[in-house]
Amino acid sequence: MKEKFYLTTAIPYCSGKPHIGNTYEVILTDAIARYKRKMGYDVFFLTGTDEHGIKIETKAKEMGITPKEFVDGVYAKVRDMWALVGASYDKFIRTTDDYHEKAVTGIFKKLYEQGDIYKSQYEGHYCVPCESFFTDTQVTDGKCPDCGRPVERATEDAYFFRMSKYADRLLKHIEENPGFVEPEARLKEMVNNFLKPGLQDLCVTRSSFTWGVPVPGDEKHVIYVWIDALSNYITALGYEVDEQGELFKKYWPCDVHVIGKDIVRFHTIYWPIMLLALGIPLPKKIYGHGWLNFGTDKMSKSRGNVMYADELAELFGVDGVRYYTLSAMPYSSDGSITYDSMIAAFNTDLANNLGNLVSRTVSMNKKYFGSVIQAPVASEAIDGELKACVAETVAKVHEKMDTYHVSDALSAIFDMLSRANKYIDETTPWVLAKSEDTKARLGTVLYNLLETIRVGASLLSPFIPDTAAKILATLGTDDMSEEFGALVCGKATGEAEVLFKRIDEKEFYERLAAQKGETAEKKEEAKMEEVKVEEAAAEKVYEPVADTVVFDDFVKVDMRVAKVLECEAVPKSKKLLKFKLDLGFETRQVFSGIAKYYSPEELIGKKVIMVANLAPRMMKINGNEEESNGMIVASGGHEPDAVVRLLFAADDANVGDRVS
């Protein structure tokens, strides 16, 4: 019987079209799944969408449609994107699927009845967009430690999970199972920052919105989106709903949960503790990959640097996108994607190294032998080197894939292809072709090249499956064995087709500009559609107007025009910018959590509005106490996916003037 291998991706939030970062994860998991299938495992590959939560409820409300209508639309986009990149999943779960909701209700009930979940009152700092409560120590300057937006003080009835009860067992499991979380540094962070200092009980319900799985018997509350989402890994196998539970029995425990670095905490602490409480074995491994950044910048809509796999595939082909993302993401750190680096990798690795090797070899076989594969009868020492390189590469690819060093596996294959190109230069087939005496040697050289290409295509098949299939078809074989010598002599190779056409930079950027124009047009159309829906529904939800204040109270807030003299990013902080502001009569130092929305360069010299009489506060900045004296006024920030915008004074406004 085949050994089983169960692997999963994180299920992306069903809030919009998935970008290349989310899509990278499914490509990565797909490459691992294809590799394991090739190695003879009985693979079950699960992916899906995370469809509940306040963000979705709010977005749907803004569009005047029901949350279900909203997620149905986004789900179709995720499914199409996964299909485009060739994700070979065995199951796609949606957290709004009936069986999943039913199972989540059952899981919650079980945990409540056995006393692991209890009802109490929560008092803490709540971040609306993140749907998370935070403790005093986690909140700095009244801002959410995850997204940097303001948190609010909130008290509510809620249900709690006794995390602390299981912390020691989890720690023991981690100590006894090296490799439970990879890369190791990510685990250390979890153990030292969360587990060792002591776990707090986790609030596992919300009552501020309704788009979620209701708490059984107390339907004012919905189950926390993470409890709902994490359960997908077992409910998809029929846990709690399928009486027989065949899939669950067969595939659980999961062999690897493939997730991004930002959600390692949920997968290495909350998820294992849920499973311990349910008496279910823990997953064997959690692999937290890095993030794909646009150059060195985080991809974000507000920065306008978000890339999508479908648009990239129009420019580089699906395998171009798969190859680039898989090779550009190192095992433990972040990866970078830019058009220039994609063009360079495409031309150097795919067009030159791989594409030319295949077309040169197949063309020579046609020219010299009418495409018939020759027997390797005239070996020389140099052939041994090539064969040894192939054998070493095969071993290296297995070693790297078994430890999830996927980009290293790919670069080993491309090193082998370079070696084969060098072999052509060393053996000079065009010289051998000049004499009948060297015909047998020429046939041997071409056999060795074709065979290296065949093994190469076999090794490449998990990463760039379409290209690998095309190469094998050109060689006239479907033999995927990784042993050198499997290619059958006497058969014919096919026509050398251009696998990857070199990209001309100038032409590329013209195509990109045309695509961007078109995308902007499409976006505009989509926006118009949304506007129509909104108008029809006429129910955009605005924050209620705050309690009335009298004028005398209003003027207590002293707002002034201030000029930005200096502005710089705060090292190691994703949120903060440090300002020196000129008020005319004095200069002030102010820290503001707007780094996500503005770069320092665009603010220097601008005139902003600041609250000049806000009590100064001391902030801990990289270990030093620094004063923030005043507050810069901005719009937005409370709603999910906020667009935070500073309020600027007119260019000719007087610095230091009051705003009233």
Binding region for ligand MSP (CB under 6 A): 10-13, 21-22, 24-25, 50, 229-230, 232, 259-260, 262-263, 291-292, 299
Residue 189, H or E segment: helix 184-190
Token digits of residue 477: 């074989």
DSSP lists the bridge partners of residue 22 as none
Least distance to ligand MSP, CB of residue 298, Å: 7
CA–CA dist 405, 403 (Å, integer): 6
| Residue 28 vs 455, nearer CB to ligand MSP | 28
The closest alpha carbon to 216, from 330, 101, 80, 311, belongs to 101
Which residues 6+ apart lie within 8 Å of 357 measured at CB? 417, 420, 421, 424, 449, 453
CA–CA dist 81, 25 (Å, integer): 12
Least distance to ligand MSP, CB of residue 210, Å: 19
Least distance to ligand MSP, CB of residue 223, Å: 13
Least distance to ligand MSP, CB of residue 564, Å: 30
| Residue 12 vs 443, nearer CB to ligand MSP | 12
Least distance to ligand MSP, CB of residue 285, Å: 15
8-state DSSP, 66: -
| Residue 22 vs 448, nearer CB to ligand MSP | 22
Least distance to ligand MSP, CB of residue 16, Å: 9
CA–CA dist 356, 497 (Å, integer): 10
| Residue 21 vs 272, nearer CB to ligand MSP | 21
CA–CA dist 320, 459 (Å, integer): 16
| Residue 12 vs 67, nearer CB to ligand MSP | 12
- DSSP of 430-469: HHHTT-GGGHHHHHHHHHHHHHHHHHHHHHHTTTSHHHHH
CA–CA dist 318, 320 (Å, integer): 5
Q: Are 42 and 4 in contact (CB under 8 A)?
A: yes
Least distance to ligand MSP, CB of residue 260, Å: 2
Least distance to ligand MSP, CB of residue 410, Å: 17
Other C-beta atoms closer than 10 Å to the C-beta of 379 total: 14
C-alpha triplet 521, 523, 527: angle, nearest 5°? 115
The closest alpha carbon to 149, from 162, 157, 140, 159, belongs to 140
| Residue 240 vs 451, nearer CB to ligand MSP | 240
| Residue 13 vs 160, nearer CB to ligand MSP | 13
| Residue 64 vs 106, nearer CB to ligand MSP | 106
| Residue 25 vs 57, nearer CB to ligand MSP | 25
Least distance to ligand MSP, CB of residue 109, Å: 20
Least distance to ligand MSP, CB of residue 21, Å: 2
Token digits of residue 587: 């200069």
| Residue 263 vs 450, nearer CB to ligand MSP | 263
Checking 389-393 for CB contacts under 8 A at 24+ apart, the result is 389/416, 389/419, 390/416, 390/451, 390/452, 390/455, 390/484, 391/484, 393/455, 393/459
Phi, psi angles (nearest 5°) of residue 297: -95, 145
CA–CA dist 542, 118 (Å, integer): 35
| Residue 18 vs 456, nearer CB to ligand MSP | 18
Radius of gyration of the chain (CA): 29
Q: Are 307 and 299 in contact (CB under 8 A)?
A: yes
Percent helix, strand and coil across the chain, each to the nearest 5: 45, 20, 35
- Phi-psi bin for 68: left (phi > 0), alpha (psi -120 to 50), beta? alpha
| Residue 334 vs 530, nearer CB to ligand MSP | 334
Least distance to ligand MSP, CB of residue 292, Å: 4
Q: Which residue is nearest to ligand MSP (CB)?
A: 260
| Residue 106 vs 656, nearer CB to ligand MSP | 106
Cα-Cα end-to-end distance for the chain? 78
Least distance to ligand MSP, CB of residue 297, Å: 10
| Residue 24 vs 368, nearer CB to ligand MSP | 24
CA–CA dist 289, 580 (Å, integer): 38
CA–CA dist 287, 426 (Å, integer): 42
Which residues 6+ apart lie within 8 Å of 317 measured at CB? 500
Q: Is 546 exposed, middle or buried (0-12, 13-18, 19+ CB in 10 A)?
A: exposed
Least distance to ligand MSP, CB of residue 271, Å: 8
Least distance to ligand MSP, CB of residue 67, Å: 15
